Every structure is written in structure tokens, then in C-alpha cells.
Amino acid sequence: MHLMRRGTLDVTQGVIWKQLLAFFIPLWCGTFFQQLYNTVDTVVVGRFVGKTALAAVGSTGTVVNLTVGIFNGLASGAVVIIAQYYGARLAKDVHRSVHTAMAISVLAGALFTVGGFFLTPPVLRAMGTTAEALPGATLYLQIYFLGMIPNLVYNMGTGVLRAIGDSSRPLYFLIAASLCNIVLDLVLVLGLDMGVAGVAIATVASQVLSAALVLLSLTRADGQPYQLFLRQLRIDRRALVATLRVGVPAAMQSVMYNVSNIVIQSSINSFGTDTVAAWSAYGKMDMIFWMSINTMGLTITTFAGQNYGAGKIDRLKKGVRVCVGMSAGFTAALSATMVLLARPLLSIFTPDPEVLVIGVDMVYFLVPTYITYILVEILAGAIRGTGEAVVPMIISIFGVCVLRLVWLFTAVPLHHTVAMVAASYPITWVVTSAALLIYYCRGRWLRLPQAAEQEGR
């Protein structure tokens, strides 16, 4: 079997910044289209259904992120292992890991479908979802959870493609899914007046389409070690252990991140529907930053995984420095743009004047602090790419999650304002960045590169 084919990217050689951009740009565009159809959902309900519907859909975001985040943490383990095997040219180990990863996605999707459907009402009530938003939020989430199997199959499948350096095909799949979602939003919400239910159905349908395209791509990768054979879907013990070694810490980190965000959403809920709607609109507006920095984290994880598997440690470290510089420049430019255009950007999601005033204040307070977060994503992603996931998890859990919860439960009750809630973000980003930088510079996260090879034999 040949490990390299047209459409994949070998990042173990070539000019680093060009290789990073060649991988980053299609991946970013794909993430953009994924966020586009989520944003269209928000625009449609905010402008054509009302601010109560906007608050309903917005208040479900933390729950969705929690469930998908758990799985994506596990999926990151598969991405790291496959990238290492691919960089080391271990075809049989790539094959085993791909089939194990896809089997995990089907099983996890089934569990999340059942659990999410029945746990949605008590979870939303526990979060303090406003009485006006609760019925719509419950309906949206229960429909959303019915599509968890295709959702997770798509996420894992694109993770496999990223691991072998292919970020182009996921872009094409998401363009198709986005167009599907937009058309269905217009038909179901504006045409058939289905409200929140129409938005949820459109989202699930687009996920089914993207999952089908990913499966078609993997099953037709003739002669490649990552070709998927549906009859061979099974969980290989060695591949599972290797995947979980990286994936479980990442999943636990995601859980803690999202638990803290659920507490933040609960705090925001206490300020009323206008503030919840503003937080939802702001969350969609700032998604451009989060999808960019998260995509850069995925890029450096694949870069680190392939170079670590190939034993090119100096190239790995240089790639991290280049990645940090690129991320800092982008973040500074984007932050300035968002602050200058805060009101017109927020107006895309809601025309309500009271909501806009609150949203603009959120932008002015939080956006200038984005620069303090970039090291969290880049350094943790690079370290995970080598297979070391436990220490970044510990640092992130205590630096971001535990400290954030302490702030929310101690400082916020003393001074109950939206700004005090929002302050939990930059404070914890600074602490976590400093801790990760110290750990990274000490270099204890590096083992012998051959360890990844020996692990798969």
C-alpha cells in the first residue's frame, strides 16, 4: 500500500509556513461553512421568529458543545495516532486505527442519541433556562440528538482525513451540507412556518448529507491504508488503547470546558431574555475567532503528529513557533475589526435595540482579550500531537475550568453583573497560557520518536 496520494499532504517536508497554510486554509474554510449554517439558523430564528426563539436556540449551544466535545476529544486521539502511523509509514496500523475509530463513532452516536433525547428536559431546567425559552430549547435539542450518529460519523471521518493530511475534501462536504441547511431553513421556517423545529430538522438533514459524503470518500480510497471497509468495522484492542490514551484526557478536558460554559450560561440566564439573546448573538459573532484558533490547533496537532512519527523534532518545534506567530497576527487584526464593527455585526442576528446595547458591551469587554488565549490552543495541540495528552489536560482543567468555576461561584455573587461573568474568560486564559508555556519550554512532553512506532507493532 502507498501512504501518499493526490489530495493528501505530507507535512514532514517543505517550507513550514506554506505547509501549515496549505492544510489550514481548506480546513478553515470547511469550519467556516459548518459555522455558516449554524449562523444561518441563528439569523433565521432571530430575525423571523423572534428573540425568544433566538434565546431558545442560543441556550442549547453549551449542551450541544458538551456532547459533541466529549466525542471530538476521543476523536482527537484517533487523529493523533493515525497521523503518527501515517508519518511513520505504518500502513497496517493506519488500517486498524481507522476501522476502530469509525466503529467507535457509530457506538458513541447511538449512546448520545438515547441519552441526549431523554436527559434534555432536566438538563435545561437545571441550567435555569428561562421559562419563555424552555419549550423551544427542549424541542430543538431533542430533534438535534436524533441526528447524533451521522454527526459523529462525520466528525470522526473528517478527523481521519485530517490525519493523513487531507483538508480539502472535508471542505467540499461542508459546502454541500451548508447549502442544504440554508435551503431547508428557508423552506421549513419561512415557507412552512415550523419555527425552532424547522431549524433543528434542517441541521440534522445537513449532518446526514455530510456523513454520507465522508463515508463515500473513505470507502472509495482504493488501495490506501485508510480505505474504509464497512464489513471490517470492529474495535481492535491495541488501536483502542492507543486512541483512548490520547482521547480520554482530551475528552475530559472538553467536558470540563463545557461544564464551566454551562455554568456561565446559567449565570447569563439569570439576567433575563434580553441578555441571553445578546449572549447568543455575540457567540455567533465571535465564532470567527474560535473556529480560526481551533482550526490552527488542529493544524498544529496533525503537523506535530506526522513530524513526531517521522522523528523530526526540530521541525516540530519550529512549526510551533511559526504557528504561534501566524495566530497572533490574525487574532490582533480580527479583534480590531470586531470592535470597530460591533454594532453592525450584531445587527445581523437581531434588530432589537435592548439586545444590541448589551451585545456591544460584551464585544468591547471580551474581544480585546482574545490574544491571551492563543497559546492555550497551539501549545496544547502540539503537545497532544506527540501523544502526550495527560499533562495538557491537567493544566487546562485547573487553569481554565476549576479557576473559572471558583470565580463564578465566589466573585460573581459578590458583584452580580454581566461583565463580572465575562471576566472569568481572560483571567483563566492568562493563567493557563503561562502554565502551558512553562511546561512546553521544559520539554518533558517529548519521548523518543520511535516510541510511536513500537507502540503499533
For residue range 219-238, what is the model confidence (pLDDT) as tens digits?
887 777 778 888 888 888 88
Q: Sign of the C-alpha dihedral, residues 291, 293, 296, 298?
A: negative
How far is 159 from 287, CA to CA, in rounded Å? 20
Contact 46, 281 (CB under 8 A): yes
For residue range 79-128, what is the model confidence (pLDDT) as tens digits?
778 877 877 777 788 888 888 888 888 888 888 888 878 887 787 777 67
pLDDT at position 9 is 60
For residue range 320-360, what is the model confidence (pLDDT) as tens digits?
999 999 999 999 999 999 999 989 988 887 788 888 898 89
How far is 404 from 413, CA to CA, in rounded Å? 14
**Angle (nearest 5°) at CA 20 between 17 and 23:** 145
DSSP symbols for 135-170: HHHHHHHHHHHTTHHHHHHHHHHHHHHHHTT--HHH
Contact 61, 45 (CB under 8 A): no
**Angle (nearest 5°) at CA 392 between 168 and 419:** 90
Provide the 3-class DSSP secondary structure of residue 220: coil
How far is 211 from 180, CA to CA, in rounded Å? 13
Quote helix, strand, coil % in the chain, to nearest 5.
Answer: 80, 0, 20
Contact 137, 197 (CB under 8 A): no
How far is 341 from 268, CA to CA, in rounded Å? 24
Grid coordinates belonging to 453? 512506532
Q: What is the pTM of this model?
A: 0.66
pLDDT of residue 4 exceeding 50: no
CA-closest candidate to residue 316, choices 299, 303, 302: 303
Mean pLDDT of the 61-80 span: 73
CA-closest candidate to residue 379, choices 438, 337, 335: 438
Largest distance between two CA atoms of the chain: 63
